Structure 1
């Protein structure tokens, strides 16, 4: 199996995860400012379908991407983590700008910090990595379990995705609120670092085990991943979602990552089963995946313009049409991203944010290269 095939499958997986993540965030963008009644059954089910699952897929694939960067550095005889830490720092800066200017629930900052930690672990022995996965995973389970036990003991409900409203006011009001209240809006990014470490390392090892290979061993691994992730994750997901609001943390941070692993196996299996069969959906998902960073930031900007009061204000104007207009908004933004990414990649090799990131990453390295030989510093 060729490397190109693996990367192509990874592009589709990224595209699915990016658009699926919008499926979670769209409920935040479309929330109505001020008191609102409890969501109806249809809205609860629709939110359940995306809550945390595709973000979990994206987290696993970040681990795969880190593994590819590690392998590339080894092939070129480069010191590791070395310049990768600068790459992670650039992601942290981009995430900070995204958080302040566009969306308070940015994930890039958390990924950047996690990748800095995992960069020192990814090259260790399989035994050491399994130990780290077990320790970080157990720490995360104990944390979620402990907080959930306190909720049952002393009352109160954990907030679910439908309880998380957008910041009201003008764009400037939103920016100032994010600046003034980082502890409120960044607590999740810190809260899930142990889970992120475990999932990054799991993604790395799944890649090494042949997850993306169109081979017998890859097929066996995907089958086991689907059986474990979907078989165990979906029942837990259903119970945590609908049995009691106090289980909201179990739903988002324990059940959803399990389902995400199963979805990773399922989508990869479908990609290989369909082969290289062309089609607009496949092309669109691939191109969104190739421009994943740009698409992630752009989809949140578009949703803000459509939904917030400083934009078109559709969240308020179409409040009575929930939840179906929300589904339509998600589908429309997804279609737009697929079209825009396809048109962009006809003229450029990378998405706009990817190109800016590459320039910022390569510029200082080119200056340090002997004789300005760019070939020696290519990534």
Structure 2
């Protein structure tokens, strides 16, 4: 038997909980599109639904303020968590290696079950892989972590840029067979996907399993691993510098905020104009995506800075306290998104896949936000952990953890 490394409440860093809660709520704005519509729509919004009126405004605002930003923030926090876990183990004279790898082994299994059985958009599996790879780098100095993080982020960007510039010289059959199915699928492919998710669970698996396999291999290789791992390395550096834990000077946060607003947001808006000017053709998949790929990092830093400034100035406590509760239950709340959206959109529930437009989707998002902002603090008044946090922690330490307060 092994004892827990730290108290679940006394050693918590409030800023990390608040940021985590904000991120896990925010990612639903984009994730609901994968629950509700054909998968290609996430990358190419012209595939399904309308981009006019309220629906167009919802897509525009979601892309500018949410797409990749909340995942970037969540990845940074996960990287910071690797350092924090190590610090707490070292402070108690224990070796965190075994705990770390056991913890992320279980996360890998959770992620695999989530992805293959419920929803292919899962990120837990990817985070576990990154945690295995990055743990040996945890003692690097912030400067080195930042440099290598940027290198990691650049690898995916280079792959996309080279592919985008090579598109004009690619044979037509390559475009049709390799790019069109994921960027602008034919009507028959869209109909097949819609029928699968409007059907029962076993029928859904005909689409979910092959898509998940592609995500866990090709997509991770060219994009997922480099993006997530690069952001985790930046998160490690920002934690070591005291920025994520709200210990930096206020001027640091104001600079992050200014760069995100004055540079990040305009670049994203220019990218949207560029993609529409190019009619959302295949070139948008590779070259057009790079505007948001890089600028989203700046905007995620601005979000981080804004929330920490609220905490440092003791503003909007009614909101930050609830966000902290959501963040302490981030694992449970993340899976709750799947359970609720799966019931609404898939055939084992209401079967609304492909039936609810973007304006309807955002109403569902707001409803889930309100639910989790209300329920999470209520749960934590009676329990020390969220249900999945308790299970994950018990498996990590190989000992049932105390649950009730």
State the Cα distance separating 1:37 from its structure 2 match: 4.8
Q: CA separation of 1:151/1:335 partners in 2, compared to 1, >3 Å: closer, same or farther? A: farther
Would you say how many aligned residue pairs link Structure 1 and Structure 2?
Answer: 356
The answer to whether 1:262 aligns with 2:277 is: no
Question: How far apart are the structure 2 equivalents of 1:288 and 1:130?
Answer: 29
Q: CA separation of 1:32/1:89 partners in 2, compared to 1, >3 Å: closer, same or farther? A: closer
Match among 316, 323, 329 for residue 285 of structure 1? 323
**Structure 2 unaligned regions, length at least 5:** 1-8, 42-46
State the Cα distance separating 1:356 from its structure 2 match: 0.4
Aligned residue for 1:377? none
The answer to whether 1:25 aligns with 2:31 is: yes
State the Cα distance separating 1:305 from its structure 2 match: 0.5
Q: Secondary structure at the match of 1:346?
A: helix
State the Cα distance separating 1:18 from its structure 2 match: 0.4
State the Cα distance separating 1:330 from its structure 2 match: 0.5
Aligned residue for 1:61? 77
State the Cα distance separating 1:358 from its structure 2 match: 0.8
Q: Deviations over 1:298-328 (max 9, x none)?
A: 11210111122331133455x4xx3322111
The answer to whether 1:347 aligns with 2:395 is: no
Q: CA separation of 1:236/1:147 partners in 2, compared to 1, >3 Å: closer, same or farther? A: farther
Q: Deviations over 1:77-133 (max 9, x none)?
A: 333533211111111111111112221110111111111111110112445434422
Q: CA separation of 1:101/1:338 partners in 2, compared to 1, >3 Å: closer, same or farther? A: farther
Superposition map of 1:114-129 within 5 A? 114-129=130-145
Question: How far apart are the structure 2 equivalents of 1:91 and 1:343?
Answer: 26
State the Cα distance separating 1:181 from its structure 2 match: 4.2
The answer to whether 1:220 aligns with 2:251 is: yes
Q: CA separation of 1:312/1:194 partners in 2, compared to 1, >3 Å: closer, same or farther? A: same
State the Cα distance separating 1:329 from its structure 2 match: 0.5
Superposition map of 1:4-153 within 5 A? 7-31=13-37, 36-40=48-52, 41-48=56-63, 49-151=65-167
User: Are the aligned partners of 1:12 and 1:285 in contact in 2 as well (CA < 8 Å)?
Assistant: yes
The answer to whether 1:196 aligns with 2:228 is: yes
State the Cα distance separating 1:31 from its structure 2 match: 1.9
State the Cα distance separating 1:4 from its structure 2 match: 6.6
User: Are the aligned partners of 1:230 and 1:263 in contact in 2 as well (CA < 8 Å)?
Assistant: no
User: Are the aligned partners of 1:73 and 1:79 in contact in 2 as well (CA < 8 Å)?
Assistant: yes
Aligned residue for 2:200? 170
Question: How far apart are the structure 1 equivalents of 2:164 and 2:48?
Answer: 25
Aligned residue for 2:394? 359
Q: CA separation of 1:32/1:177 partners in 2, compared to 1, >3 Å: closer, same or farther? A: closer
Q: Secondary structure at the match of 2:382?
A: coil
Taking CA–CA contacts closer than 8 Å with sequence separation of 6 or more, which of the two structures ends up with the larger relative contact order?
2
Q: Return the TM-score normalized by structure 2.
A: 0.78
**Greater displacement, 96-105 / 253-262:** 253-262
Q: CA separation of 1:159/1:220 partners in 2, compared to 1, >3 Å: closer, same or farther? A: farther
Match among 230, 244, 251 for residue 261 of structure 2? 230
**Greater displacement, 304-313 / 28-37:** 28-37
Question: How far apart are the structure 2 equivalents of 1:251 and 1:301?
Answer: 33
Aligned residue for 1:300? 338
Aligned residue for 1:314? 352
State the Cα distance separating 1:196 from its structure 2 match: 2.0
Aligned residue for 2:3? none
Question: How far apart are the structure 1 equivalents of 2:164 and 2:250?
Answer: 37
The answer to whether 1:328 aligns with 2:334 is: no
CA RMSD of aligned residues (A): 3.0
Question: How far apart are the structure 2 equivalents of 1:5 and 1:89?
Answer: 24
User: Are the aligned partners of 1:236 and 1:251 in contact in 2 as well (CA < 8 Å)?
Assistant: yes
User: Are the aligned partners of 1:107 and 1:189 in contact in 2 as well (CA < 8 Å)?
Assistant: no
